[in-house]
Amino acid sequence: MRLLILSDIHANLEALEACLDAAPEYDQVYNLGDIVGYGANPNEVTKRSRELGSIFVRGNHDKACSGLSDLSDFNPIAGFAALWTREKLTDDHLQFLRALPEGPVSPSDNLQLVHGSPRDEDEYILMTSDAYTILADVTVPLTFFGHTHVQRCSLLEKTDEGKTFAPNYKSTKGKQTATLEVRPHTKYLVNPGSVGQPRDNDPRAAFLLYDTEAGLITFYRVPYDIALAQEKIFSAGLPERLAIRLEEGR
Ligand code: ZN
């Protein structure tokens, strides 16, 4: 099975389409949440995500933008964008977002999907020490997560103290890939990176493909029309910072 894993699209249609154009053949899509929030195309991106027939977990922005949670944890810019998004979304898409399941969701015995972390859907796994603690506790070999917008993998073999794999791309230009072999007796905590608002100093859209039979995870970075996504944010009257950070990739 070839699994296309997308996370944190954040209503960025240009980035989503670039990822789908660049993606190799796949059998199924797993979507790790934050479909909307920040970007200017919440309806278009929700529609496209639904058409992909994904297995989903909900993100904190999906909850806030659909009115399922309040905005107390949001900074003013994120809060403004969430209210703008709530206003724009059609009733049908609002209902879809409200009904998204809380992680962990387990599509098969050996993997689980979460937005933040297996122990709290809103937790940011930023520190490698936290990643290793979580890896020591999980019972499935593979956990895919999002929320931090950083493309990275932490892994724990039975006998070691944990390692981190970060794709080592030659540059931040063009389409590039990095492959990680999935080994037995090892647990993995894998973040595909953010499709629509990367925060790892690489402005390109991020996703991954997991080929379960070959035992390979391939990380992707693909360029997209950042200028167009920015222009839409400006003309929507969304905070300028949301546009500027796209070209910075942070
Ligand atoms: Zn997010």
> Tell me, what's the pLDDT at 196?
98
Q: What is the pLDDT of residues 99-115, one digit of tens each?
A: 999 999 999 999 999 99
Q: How many angstroms does the Cα of residue 94 sit away from the middle of ligand 1?
A: 17
Neighbours of 100 (CB within 10 A): 20
Q: How many angstroms does the Cα of residue 149 sit away from the middle of ligand 1?
A: 6
User: Confidence class of residue 250 from pLDDT cuts 50, 70 and 90?
Assistant: very high
Q: How many angstroms does the Cα of residue 31 sit away from the middle of ligand 1?
A: 12
Q: How many angstroms does the Cα of residue 129 sit away from the middle of ligand 1?
A: 21
Q: How many angstroms does the Cα of residue 132 sit away from the middle of ligand 1?
A: 22
Q: How many angstroms does the Cα of residue 8 sit away from the middle of ligand 1?
A: 5
Peptide bond into 192 cis (omega under 30): no
Q: Can you count the helices (H) and strands (E) in the chain?
A: 8, 12
Q: Which residue has the tokens 């391939």?
A: 218
Task: Name the 3-class secondary structure at 131.
Answer: helix
Taking residues 87-94, report their average pLDDT: 98
> Tell me, what's the pLDDT at 189?
98
Q: How many angstroms does the Cα of residue 12 sit away from the middle of ligand 1?
A: 12
Q: How many angstroms does the Cα of residue 26 sit away from the middle of ligand 1?
A: 24
Q: How many angstroms does the Cα of residue 60 sit away from the middle of ligand 1?
A: 7
Q: Which residues, in sequence order, are CB contacts of 233 under 8 Å at separation 6+? A: 39, 40, 240, 242, 243, 246
Residue 243's domain comprises 2-248
Q: What is the pLDDT of residues 187-199, one digit of tens each?
A: 999 999 999 999 9
Q: Collect residues with CB below 5 Å from ion ligand 1.
A: 8, 34
Q: How many angstroms does the Cα of residue 184 sit away from the middle of ligand 1?
A: 30
H/E segment holding residue 93 = helix 91-98
Structure tokens at 8: 């944190």
As to burial, measured by CB atoms within 10 angstroms (0-12 exposed, 13-18 middle, 19+ buried), residue 33 is: buried
Per-chain mean pLDDT for the chain = 96
pTM value surpassing 0.85: yes
Q: How many angstroms does the Cα of residue 192 sit away from the middle of ligand 1?
A: 12
Q: How many domains does the chain have?
A: 1
Q: How many angstroms does the Cα of residue 36 sit away from the middle of ligand 1?
A: 8
Q: What is the pLDDT of residues 146-184, one digit of tens each?
A: 999 999 999 999 877 899 999 999 999 999 999 999 999
Closest alpha carbon to 115 in 99, 126, 130, 104: 104
Q: What is the pLDDT of residues 197-237, one digit of tens each?
A: 999 999 999 999 999 999 999 999 999 999 999 999 999 99
> 15: domain CATH number?
3.60.21.10
Q: Tell me the CA distances in angstroms from 198 to 62, 95, 131, 138, 141, one per residue in order.
A: 17, 27, 20, 27, 26
Q: Around 196, how many Cα atoms within 13 Å sit in the side-chain half-sphere?
A: 34
Q: Is there a contact between 215 and 12 (Cβ–Cβ < 8 Å)?
A: no
Q: How many angstroms does the Cα of residue 205 sit away from the middle of ligand 1?
A: 13
